[in-house]
Amino acid sequence: MNITADGLYPLFNRISHGKTVTNMSLLNAAEIAVYLAGSIGGGILQLQYSDGAGGYVDMTDGALTEAGQFEVHKGSGMVLYLSVTGSTAADFNVSVVSL
């Protein structure tokens, strides 16, 4: 997924034939790796999960830095989001794989 603006991005969704589809193997994986490549434009990246009431909670040690790979222990069935704030001219790619 290519990101060029601030926002909240679900990590396990992709577009297939014009529809948003959840990658179930990533959703069900207890551990994932998140890869970042490119410029975050000075922004702050944070992994978050839903609190079930319309809000989002920062994961402990969920801050990500530019151009790296991060192993995440999340538990099966937990949907994660990437929050991007304070970026200017961000242009980076995010890839997620199950471990």
pLDDT tens-digit profile, the chain (99 residues):
899 999 999 999 887 788 888 999 999 999 999 999 999 888 899 999 988 898 999 987 778 887 789 999 888 888 899 999 999 888 999 999 999
d(CA 95, CA 10): 12
pLDDT value, residue 64: 85
pLDDT value, residue 61: 76
pLDDT value, residue 3: 92
* 65 DSSP 8-state letter: -
Instruction: List, in sequence order, every residue forming a beta bridge with 48; answer none if it has no partner.
Output: 58, 81
CB atoms within 10 A of CB 27: 18
pLDDT value, residue 57: 92
